[in-house]
């Protein structure tokens, strides 16, 4: 005896003319030439890496929360005496009694730390043309 076809109650029914309309989706095609990778680096300002850690991505933010001097000064203004002493100990400075000297010392250490990470790239000036007379004088020493 032939088997009956099972009816599926979940089968899709054609959309009625008065009901919902069926939307067609179009696939966007993008070429690889138009895509760019976003990595969060500011490529407009180039700095020269001086250590292997900097080559591997160390940006100097591990010691201070910022490398902007104005923002760091604002952070120092908002700190209490106890906070400033704790921050000085964390940075490696022995805090003294005079708060102004401590602020100046912290700023000096901050500037030194930033200068280690913000070394501008040397611009190639090209080969300088040496006058013939100077070249003869330099060649005499050979």
What's residue 72's pLDDT?
Answer: 94
Stated pTM of the model: 0.51
Q: Which residues pair with 57 in a beta bridge?
A: none
How many Cα atoms occupy the beta-carbon half-sphere of 84 within 13 Å?
A: 23
What's residue 63's pLDDT?
Answer: 84
For 19-58, what is each residue's pLDDT tens digit?
566 666 666 666 767 766 666 655 565 667 777 777 787 7
pLDDT: which is higher, 4 or 129: 129
What's residue 61's pLDDT?
Answer: 79
What's residue 55's pLDDT?
Answer: 76
What's residue 83's pLDDT?
Answer: 95
Per-residue confidence band for 65, with pLDDT thresholds at 50, 70 and 90: confident
What residues contact 88, with CB distance under 8 A and at least 6 apart? 94, 95, 102, 105, 106
Q: Is the pLDDT of residue 79 over 90?
A: yes
What's residue 24's pLDDT?
Answer: 66
75, containing H or E segment:
helix 69-78
For 85-137, what is each residue's pLDDT tens digit?
999 999 999 998 899 999 999 999 999 988 888 776 666 666 778 888 988 88
C-alpha distance from residue 70 to each of 12, 26, 34, 100 (Å): 64, 50, 38, 17
DSSP code for 125: -
């Amino acid at each position: 005896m032939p088997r009956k076809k099972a009816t599926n109650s979940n089968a899709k029914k054609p959309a009625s003319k008065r009901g919902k309309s069926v939307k067609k989706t179009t696939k966007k095609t993008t070429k690889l030439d138009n895509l760019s990778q976003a990595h969060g680096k500011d490529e407009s300002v180039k700095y020269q890496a001086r250590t292997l850690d900097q080559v591997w991505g160390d940006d100097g933010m591990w010691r201070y929360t910022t490398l902007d001097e104005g923002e760091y000064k604002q952070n120092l203004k908002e700190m209490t005496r106890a906070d400033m002493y704790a921050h000085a100990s964390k940075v490696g400075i022995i805090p003294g009694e005079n708060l102004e000297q401590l602020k100046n010392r912290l700023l000096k250490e901050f500037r030194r730390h930033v200068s280690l990470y913000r070394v501008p790239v040397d611009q190639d000036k090209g080969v300088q043309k040496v006058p013939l007379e100077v070249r003869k004088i330099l060649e005499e020493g050979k």
